[in-house]
Amino acid sequence: MKLYMQVLIALGLGLKRNWHIFVGLILGIISGVWLHTHQNPMIMATLDFIGQLFIRLIQMVVIPLVISAIVIGITSIGDSKQLGKLGTKMIFYYAIITLVAVVVGAGLALLIKPGLGAATYITSDIATDIQSHVAATIEAQRGNLLNIILGFVPKNPLSSIAAGEMVPIIVFAVFFSVALAKVGEINRPFVSFFESIFAATMKITDWIMCFAAPGVFALTAVAVSHFGIDIFMAISKYLGVLALGFGIQMFIVYPIFLKIFSKVPVLMLYAAIAEAMMVAFGTASSSATLPLTIACCEKRGISHKVTSFVIPLGATLNMDGTALLQVVAVIFLAQAYGVVLTPLIIVQVALLAIIASSTSAGIPGAGLITIALVLNGIGLSPEQLVAGFAFLFTIERITDMMRTLVNVTSDAVVAAAIADNENEINYDLLNNPEEYNEVID
């Protein structure tokens, strides 16, 4: 074998797994740009296959993992007073982070005005078939808030499990676990059963992560190949505002949040969850990333008691990245169509975005469906609504990858803050990068 090949292989083997994923991500972006101009159905089909295979593999462990994590987490907290305290704190922290996200989004969109002059390319570029599909979605979402909330309570937990409906599954798992905690010692065999399930699903997650670099590479290449540089240029202002907003959340808001509410060093936390962040970007799914988010946090010292309760709930309910996007998107469309938003309507948009985002499942595209809730009532005509919504669809995947990265990061940030407050964090592990080799031994 040639010497340079040997050096390359040695380098590759020596690199940590998150660097492999990072390289996969960068190569995916480059290949996606190339594929956009050199359409090649066979390469596309192969990449699509690899990406889907990776997503399916992680999805395979999500439901057993979520249920077992919640059962173990809640029963280990045990006492219902402490559980109430932890739950309230969790909701408070998630609410603060999402509230700041909508304020950042609204502030940037109103200041930079990305929508001015955008009406022409919104209306001209959109295929009519997307528009008819979109019209049906908007109709289905209209006035649907109460139904969405009703849908959180499972009529039949087993059918929710079979259908993979995360929120109803979590609602049931929480009720069930609180009841188990209340019945005392008699719960032992059942809890042990879930402890075994949890350990095994984490082991499977570790195996699957060996496949993360090619998986993230393929998913990114396919996503990027749908957008040429031309569309990026046309909507660069909109994407720029989003990227700036997400950047502010990640590099200003979370560090300040951690400083105020804990003594967790933000860079150490980010280093700990780097793999989860990249997988979130590649898969655009908080739920699919969930096993890895938990694994990364636990490996670096955040206790199982906290991660198993806070992160599954966060992956479903805490969507600050999604809320930020929804506010920016709605203001963008209003600006494009010259609709003047009064301060009251802006507040309404922000509040609806908080609700709509937290009703979004942690799967690709969920936040774009629930945005219909926020769009209604801002004064766009039905045609403008459909065209605007269809426009958002065409650039959905890229924005989804960015907001999912933010969603997953904030789950870990809140878990770390709570763990700090509750003395449930091992700072030696968190602050010592040498301890960090691979997620899960």
Least distance CB 5 / ligand ASP (angstroms)? 39
Determine, following the binding rule CB under 6 A, whether residue 367 of this chain makes contact with ligand ASP: yes
Residue in the block written with tokens 């979520």: 66
CA dihedral 18, 24, 25, 29 (to 10 degrees): 170
Asked if residue 117 lies in contact with residue 236, where contact means CB atoms within 8 angstroms, the answer is no
Determine, following the binding rule CB under 6 A, whether residue 404 of this chain makes contact with ligand ASP: yes
CA dihedral 316, 320, 325, 326 (to 10 degrees): 70
| Near ligand ASP by CB under 6 A: residue from 28, 73, 362, 388 | 362
For ligand ASP, the closer of residues 87 and 367 by Cβ is 367
Determine, following the binding rule CB under 6 A, whether residue 373 of this chain makes contact with ligand ASP: no
Determine, following the binding rule CB under 6 A, whether residue 407 of this chain makes contact with ligand ASP: yes
CA-closest candidate to residue 167, choices 326, 346, 366? 366
Determine, following the binding rule CB under 6 A, whether residue 285 of this chain makes contact with ligand ASP: yes
Least distance CB 187 / ligand ASP (angstroms)? 32
Least distance CB 317 / ligand ASP (angstroms)? 11
| Near ligand ASP by CB under 6 A: residue from 298, 400, 420, 424 | 400
Burial group, residue 320, by CB count within 10 angstroms (0-12, 13-18, 19+): buried
Measured CA to CA, the distance from residue 52 to residue 257 in angstroms comes to 36
Least distance CB 323 / ligand ASP (angstroms)? 9
Measured CA to CA, the distance from residue 49 to residue 42 in angstroms comes to 11
Least distance CB 361 / ligand ASP (angstroms)? 7
Alpha carbon 311 to chain centroid distance?
Answer: 11
Determine, following the binding rule CB under 6 A, whether residue 101 of this chain makes contact with ligand ASP: no
Measured CA to CA, the distance from residue 244 to residue 238 in angstroms comes to 10
Least distance CB 279 / ligand ASP (angstroms)? 11
Task: Single out the segment in contact with ligand ASP by CB under 6 A; choices: 44-52, 81-89, 209-217, 362-370.
Answer: 362-370
Determine, following the binding rule CB under 6 A, whether residue 392 of this chain makes contact with ligand ASP: no
Asked if residue 35 lies in contact with residue 43, where contact means CB atoms within 8 angstroms, the answer is yes
| Near ligand ASP by CB under 6 A: residue from 87, 168, 245, 364 | 364
User: How far apart are the two ends of the chain, measured CA to CA in Å?
Assistant: 32
| Near ligand ASP by CB under 6 A: residue from 220, 360, 409, 410 | 360
Least distance CB 362 / ligand ASP (angstroms)? 4
What is the number of the residue whose Cβ is closest to ligand ASP? 367
Determine, following the binding rule CB under 6 A, whether residue 177 of this chain makes contact with ligand ASP: no
DSSP, collapsed to helix, strand or coil, labels residue 302 as: strand
DSSP, collapsed to helix, strand or coil, labels residue 303 as: coil
Least distance CB 171 / ligand ASP (angstroms)? 18
Judged by CB under 6 A, the chain residues 320 through 339 that form the site for ligand ASP are: 322
According to DSSP H, which parts of 302-381 are helical? Answer: 304-317, 320-336, 343-358, 366-375
Least distance CB 295 / ligand ASP (angstroms)? 18
For ligand ASP, the closer of residues 105 and 367 by Cβ is 367
Task: Single out the segment in contact with ligand ASP by CB under 6 A; choices: 8-16, 152-160, 360-368, 433-441.
Answer: 360-368
Q: How many residues bind ligand ASP (CB under 6 A)?
A: 16
What is the longest distance spanned by two Cα atoms in the chain?
69
Within 13 A of 92's CA, how many CA atoms are on the CB side?
Answer: 10
For ligand ASP, the closer of residues 285 and 384 by Cβ is 285
Q: Identify the bridge partners of residue 302 per DSSP, sorted by sequence position.
A: 425
CA-closest candidate to residue 374, choices 134, 131, 142, 109? 142
CA angle 380-382-385, nearest 5°? 60
Q: Which residues bind ligand ASP (CB under 6 A)?
A: 284-286, 319, 322, 360, 362-367, 400, 403-404, 407
